[in-house]
Chain A
Amino acid sequence: MKLVGIAGSIAEQSYNRMLLKFIAAHFSDQVDVEILDINDIPMFNQDNDISQGDALQYIARKIEGADGVILATPEHNHTVPAALKSLIEWLSYSIHPLDGKPVWIVGASYYTQGSSRAQLHLRQILESPGVGAISLPGNEVLLGNVKEAFDADGNLKDEGTINFIHSTLNKFLKFVKLINHVDQEDDDAWKNEDLEANHPVDTSVTNVDKNAKDWVEQAAVKTNAVDGKAYVKLDRGLLTVDQLNWFLKTMPIELTYVDDNNQFIYYNKTMEGKKMLASRTPDQVGDKMTDVHPPRAIPNVKRVIHQLRTGQKDLVAMPVPGNNATKHVMHYYKAMHDEDGSYRGVNEWVLDLWPIVSSYLKMTGKMLVDDPNNQVDANAGASQAGAAASADTDASAGASESAEETETVDVDANSGASES
């Protein structure tokens, strides 16, 4: 579960930010909390709408991609700080990322009230029609006398307080699941992901048949593409196209570029297709996603790309079928973004983890043994991506009787992933 945390104070010394940091660190095994900074957001003014600017788009994208939001508010003059209110006004004017989003309000203050009045104001604000956030009812976390609450390492001192925050967090996580489940329409949004590549973007080369075997050559002519000894300026460096090719072809991973129109436009042709971990052939470049995946894989591909495009996930990792004790091939899908934070496609890389693990074992004289307490669902990557893995894989099945014999460790990580 992924949450974003926003501290309502822009003061340099903020106990509310400390409280968020504590929650993020202390419960990191349970939930992934990313803390956002709102210091650079200017005062809301309807005459000068900057909703489409970098700063607000960044925050909006983070909120949209998260399952829920934690707002930590101090109290000033019986209400929330102007900086927090200003942010919420921006997020309720021409963009509405908080709409339908589960929100957990917490607050720290220097004296006994613990921001109680500010929290009540905040609840009213969040439920206004333009904001539309859904705050967890009751369960007020009011951290009073905050100056004495933390130790030097930023940890809360009082065990009872930690337990209370933990139990409220658990309720919030259930609340998040419930609220996000209610929004069925959004659950199906991934189905609209267009794998036919019918929505050209500013970098798309149009009027070239995507299926053409020489798509690269045709598209290169259309765009007057440079090659060979021509120099390309990069962030950060200067290479000729030849140098760029030598460089990419010697990467110890198979790289694939799929642009934001779901068109396959590059791979670092390291060897011929059938020798690759994930086969690619020169004539496939230019193809739309539907032409390089079997029909049964299409729903998964749609889900993964949708998650990356919307920011629900930044990276999707999944093992492929056929892995065994001497091979553990992984596919990684990483969202790419431009300088404005807009989604620009998928960086896919494929590699076999086993040689890395194996050389580590050799160098250190260590060996793999089974963890008797192992609770890892070896299918996690695949099942998150929506694959049909439902079996409760017992990763220790093959090795439970002889934990010292590394050969017999047979992690079954393959049952679910249908991609390839």
Chain B
Amino acid sequence: MKKFIAIVGSNSKNSTNRNLLKYMQKHFKSEADIQLAEIKDLPIFKKSPEKTVPEYAIELANDIEAADGVIIGTPEYDHSIPAALSSALAWLSYGQHPFVDKPVMITGASYGSLGSSRAQSQLRQILDSPEIKARIMPSSEFLLGHSLEAFDDDGNLKDDDTIKQLEGLFEDFLKFVAISEQLGGATAANMEEARNFNWEDNK
């Protein structure tokens, strides 16, 4: 069975993005082992001469390294991903590069109707940057609008069409992960590039 790390992109106690990932964990338990990962205790990203990385970020990087893929659930703050998620991704690409060629599925929930669409498109650009270089599943978007009303008391999605869409995307993601495993050709080179890339000195 495939093993995925599901990153909760919010540092809030009450997050419908966390609810959505929990639902996926439960709903797809026969197809994949989904482990939720929190980012709320990570400090704000700051470079240091010693390139110190918080212990927790190293553990999380190891978990991602060992997993077959990553699911990121992002809210939208001010048309973009939360600073907390941006900061976590910065820690996870600072002297360590667990995302290189790692298959990633993006989900997003929002209270309003747009379902974090703009945050997701920025997240794709971020995941595509040289030090992250994730393999983002193309042409797939899961936007859960009006997320406060989307779940029943047991934490299950209420709307059948939404569930069907999510099931279809997850099925695609499993296939995408399988295909991705055969696309190892450039991985070594990508990893090398990520290691050598430095936002401070591109020589």
**Residues of chain A having any CB pair with chain B under 8 Å:** 10-11, 42-47, 74-83, 85-86, 88-89, 92, 109-111, 117, 121, 124-125, 127-128, 130-131, 147
Contacts and interface: CB of A to CB of B under 8 A. Distances in A.
Interface residues of B, number: 35
15 contacts: A10-B44, A77-B93, A77-B129, A79-B125, A79-B129, A82-B83, A83-B87, A85-B83, A85-B86, A88-B83, A109-B199, A110-B201, A121-B80, A124-B122, A128-B78
B202 A78 contact: no
Given A86-B83, A125-B80, 6 more contacts: A79-B80, A79-B126, A79-B129, A82-B83, A86-B44, A110-B200
Nearest to A77: B129
A75 B87 CA distance: 13
B12 interface: yes
Contacts of B176: none
B78 A121 contact: no
B156 interface: no
B27 interface: no
Given A45-B40, A83-B44, A77 B126 contact: yes
Given A77-B89, A77-B126, A11 B80 contact: no
B86 A79 contact: yes
Residue from A79, A88, A109, A124 whose CB has the most chain B CB atoms within 10 Å = A79
B79 A83 contact: no
Interface in B114-143: 118, 122, 125-126, 128-129, 131-132
Interface in B46-96: 46-47, 77-80, 82-84, 86-87, 89-90, 93
Contacts of A110: 198-202
A170 B104 CA distance: 45
Contacts of B128: 78
B25 interface: no
B122 A79 contact: yes
Nearest to B203: A111
Interface of B: 11-14, 40, 43-47, 77-80, 82-84, 86-87, 89-90, 93, 118, 122, 125-126, 128-129, 131-132, 198-202
A173 to B, nearest CB: 26
A133 to B, nearest CB: 10
B44 A82 contact: yes
A191 to B, nearest CB: 33
A316 B53 CA distance: 49
For the complex of A and B, list the 8 residue pairs with the smallest distance between their C-beta atoms, beginning with the closest. Answer: A82-B87, A86-B83, A85-B83, A111-B202, A128-B79, A78-B129, A128-B78, A77-B129
A111 to B, nearest CB: 4
B129 A43 contact: no
B87 A86 contact: yes
B11 A43 contact: yes
Contacts of A10: 44, 46
Nearest to A146: B200
Contact of A77 (B13, B46, B84, B132): B132
A3 B2 CA distance: 54
A79 B93 CA distance: 13
A80 B44 CA distance: 13
B131 A89 contact: no
A166 to B, nearest CB: 27
B47 A11 contact: yes
Contacts of B82: 44, 85, 89
Nearest to A87: B83
A106 to B, nearest CB: 17
Contacts of A111: 201-202
B13 A47 contact: yes
Given A11-B47, A75-B199, A78-B129, A85 B89 contact: no
A127 B78 CA distance: 8
A20 B126 CA distance: 26
Contacts of B47: 11
A44 B80 contact: no
B200 A47 contact: no
B126 A43 contact: no
A415 B107 CA distance: 67
B73 to A, nearest CB: 16
Contacts of A127: 79
Contacts of B84: 43-45, 82, 86
A78 B126 contact: yes
Residue from B83, B86, B125 whose CB has the most chain A CB atoms within 10 Å = B83
B122 A89 contact: no
